[in-house]
Amino acid sequence: MPARQGALAPGSENAAAPSGFGRAALAAAAIAAALALSAASATANANANANAHPAGGHAKAPITTEAQAAATSGFPPLFGSREVRSSNIGFFPKWTGALERAAAEALGTRAACKPISPGRCIGGADWGRFLVSLAGKAREVQLEAVNRYVNQAPYLPDLLNYGARDHWATPVELFARGGDCEDYAIAKFVALRALGFSNARLRLVVVQDLKRRRPHAVLAVNVDDRVLVLDNQLPWIVPAEALGHYRPFYSVNEENFWLHLA
């Protein structure tokens, strides 16, 4: 989860990874086992019902195809993985807590923006003005602008920033103090929701970056049934299929989470 615009912050993420994301990955594995068992039981029950009510009967179990599952979730399978969905997002209190705090923040705050270079600043009142300026524009324009704006925030690992090993920040916190990868993804999620993107088309995704050998978080957006990835490690938006070195652990939006199986 390196610094903005793709510049790597050497060693910073290695220090933070074992706590928040490490525990999250272990929790996800335990949840996956339970959900997989539940899914296997449901499949067995569906097969039993199908056998009990052959063609022409009135209780035949429906068959869910990959395409139907993708349509229901609002996404094609992320990074080619198999997905198990749950609506119990209480498993991810840092995520839900960040969203609740972000909802309480005013996008149109009058706070001063944070200088990032001579003549340039981000956050504060500038954040609200920026989002208003994007209203009604094409989705592609909104995506590019949000990704570019948020990626300007300074990168700072949680241990140095908050004295904690894992803190999920709101956009106001990110722009005022800097943040790490999930903070960029949260700010982009909040911005796109404010611009009218549906919850079903957005997911924060926690992945294993196989090249850098550490966990990472990005925002995935479904645009016309193609997944685009907004990533603080990259200055541009890329399709998910171009990121073969990302192996997803789990993804979340406001209503559901998905465990991703190889």
Rounded to the nearest integer, the mean pLDDT of the chain is 79
Q: Compute the distance between CA of residue 204 and CA of residue 109 in angstroms, rounded to an integer.
A: 25
Lowest mean pLDDT, pick from 18-32, 124-138, 147-161, 248-262: 18-32
Range of the domain at 256: 4-261
**What average pLDDT score do residues 206-225 get?**
95
**CATH code for the domain in which residue 255 is found:** 3.10.620.30
HEC profile for 124-173? CHHHHHHHHHHCCCCHHHHHHHHHHHHCCCCECCHHHHHCCCCCCCCHHH
pLDDT at 61: 32
Which residues are CB-neighbours of 255 under 8 A, at least 6 positions away?
A: 87, 89, 199
pLDDT at 112: 83
Q: Is the pLDDT of residue 26 over 70?
A: no
Which one, of 145, 107, 153, lies nearest residue 126 by Cα?
Answer: 107
N- to C-terminal Cα separation, the chain: 22
Q: Is the pLDDT of residue 36 over 60?
A: no
Which pLDDT tens digit goes with each residue over 172-186? 999 999 999 999 999
Q: Compute the distance between CA of residue 198 and CA of residue 163 in angstroms, rounded to an integer.
A: 35
Lowest mean pLDDT, pick from 29-38, 93-102, 131-140, 184-193: 29-38
**What average pLDDT score do residues 122-137 get?**
93
Q: How confident is the model at residue 74 (pLDDT cuts 50, 70, 90)?
A: low
Q: Is the pLDDT of residue 187 over 90?
A: yes
Domain count, the chain: 1
